[in-house]
Amino acid sequence: MTLFTEEHDLFRKTLRDFVEREINPHAEEWEQAGTFPAHELFAKLGDLGVLGLTYDPAYGGGGSDYGYVAIMAEEFGRMPCLGVAMAIGVQTDMATPSLHRFGSHELKQKYLAPAIRGEHVAAVGVTEPDAGSDVAGIRTKGVRDGDEWVINGSKTFITSGTQADWVCLLVRTSEEGGSRGISQIIVPTDTPGFQVSGKLDKLGMRSSDTAVLTFDDMRVPVSNTIGEIGRGFQQQMSQFQDERMIAAYQMVGAMEYALERTADYLKQRIAFGQPLMANQHLAYELADLASEVDLLKYYNYHAAAAQTRGDDITRFATVAKLRSARLARRVADVCLQFHGGVGYIGETWTARFFRDTRLWSIGGGADEIMLRTLARMGGFWAE
């Protein structure tokens, strides 16, 4: 079975060049600013045709297989500012999959097509101050008034929240409770009553802006509902699978890059009269980690094939997300450790990498939630 063709290889090279020239020179500036110019960067990514690789060409998508998504994410994982990679992931695989999968033609024309072109910046609004892992606990409420939803509530930790043009918002639209009666609604951020009530300071992923949003009698057309009214929870669970895979794909690229950079450093740093890399302990530890990254990479490629076939990828996505997040924490720790004191200094990449990768055991479904899902799927469960 050939996974990748000559076109996949050329695509990878294009993205590597793009990251090197269009992103890396700005990494420091964006990290300092606590945000990056999403509209400017996404317009360039739209020209590259990477903001809707697998999406329907009728809306400007590429109609590609998920191998291209894996390659794109691996290459974006090689950025020295992973917050930007995360925000791109939100645009391509966290805020738009439901719209593409379940949205009406009109809704896709109005919101998906400009997101694919990079004209609109998209965000996904699920987490609330009182409901994160327990998605069915959300309280943001939409009450129907004729052809409109009147929405009240708030969301927190929303990536790109300060600069988004629209939010794929998870809203409780009936009194049924639990996971029933929840809907996904596209909310333009210029809707009266929409407010960015805060920008959060974070441990890592500092190049990405993270917002608290509040909604006060916000009126949105009922036709902005994605798919079926009341099926939002199920649709969001499906959207989470794409989200988890994009994180896992990115982590592979990020870890490979970190191990390469650490190897370069160990080869040129001399201690006890020889390069640090001449110490078997250091070399074997890196080789060990690289072997685990390999396993994850090829596991991911199987997941990509399953995604392309349209299979249910819940197990793939859950395993990949859990393993990649945990492995990234180990890789980050080892890379920092092997750099010694300089590894702990703020301006060395290892410090930021350590802070950035820490997110993935929490965001996109925490490790414990992945374990909860896997325990249930594997029969390791009792009521």
Partner 1 sequence: MNIVVCVKQIPDPADPGALDPESKTLKRDGKLILDESDSYGVEMALQLVGDSGEVTLVSMAPNGEVSGLRTALAMGAAKAVLVSDDALKGSDALTTAKVLAAAIGKAGEYDLVLAATESSDGYTGVVPEQIAAVLGLPSVTFAKAVSVDGGTVKVDRQTEAGYDEVTCPLPAVVSVTAGVVEPRYPSFKGIMAAKSKPVDQLALADLGIEAANAGWAGAGQEIVEVAAAAQREAGEIIEDDGEAHAKIVDFLSNLKVI
- Residue from 202, 315, 329, 330 touching ligand FAD (CB under 6 A): that is 202
Partner from partner 1, ligand FAD, none binding residue 126, C-beta < 5-8 Å depending on class:
ligand FAD
The region of 8-16, 104-112, 166-174, 359-367 touching partner 1 under the rule CB under 8 A is 8-16
CA–CA separation, 377 vs 372, rounded Å?
A: 9
Q: Which range in 4-12, 101-109, 232-240, 370-378 contacts partner 1 by CB under 8 A?
A: 4-12
Pick the stretch among 3-11, 210-218, 229-237, 347-355 that binds partner 1 (CB under 8 A).
Answer: 3-11
CB nearer to ligand FAD: pick between 124 and 259: 124
Note whether 93 and 246 are within 8 A (CB): yes
User: Which of 85, 113, 332, 369 is close enough to bind ligand FAD by CB under 6 A?
Assistant: 369
Structure tokens at 208: 């990405």
- The distance of closest approach from Cβ of residue 330 to partner 1 in the complex, given in angstroms and rounded to an integer, is 29
Confirm or reject binding of residue 197 to ligand FAD (CB under 6 A): no
Q: Is 22 a catalytic residue?
A: no
Count helices and strands (H / E) in the chain. 14, 10
**Smaller CB separation from ligand FAD, 93 or 256:** 93
Residues in CB range of 224: below 8 A, 6 or more apart: 107, 149, 185, 186, 187
Long-range interactions of 376-380: CB distance < 8 A, separation 24+: 377/314, 377/315, 377/318
Tell me the H-state helices in 221-366. 232-268, 280-309, 314-339, 341-344, 349-357
Query: Of the candidates 368, 375, 377, 381, which one interacts with ligand FAD according to CB under 6 A?
Result: 368
**Distance (Å, whole) CA 320 – CA 123:** 23
The answer to whether residue 68 forms part of the interface with partner 1 (CB under 8 A) is yes
Angle, helices 66-76 vs 82-89, to 10°: value is: 160
Q: If binding is defined by CB under 6 A, does position 97 make contact with ligand FAD? A: no
Residue 359 contact partner, candidates partner 1, ligand FAD, none, CB within 5 to 8 A by sort of partner: ligand FAD
Give the DSSP H or E segment for 116: helix 113-117
Complete DSSP assignment for 160-223:
TTTT-SEEEEEEE-SSS-TTTTEEEEEEETTSTTEEEEEE---SS-TTS-EEEEEEEEEEEEGG
Q: Tell me, rounded to whole angstroms, the distance of Cα 376 from its chain centroid.
A: 24
Residue 40 is a binding residue for ligand FAD (CB under 6 A)? no
Catalytic residue among 29, 243, 260, 347: 243
Which residues make up the interface to ligand FAD (CB under 6 A)? Answer: 90, 123-127, 132-133, 157-159, 202, 205, 210, 359, 362-366, 368-369, 372
Which residues make up the interface to partner 1 (CB under 8 A)? Answer: 6-7, 10-11, 13-14, 17-18, 47-50, 53, 62, 64, 68
Q: Which residues are known to be catalytic? A: 243
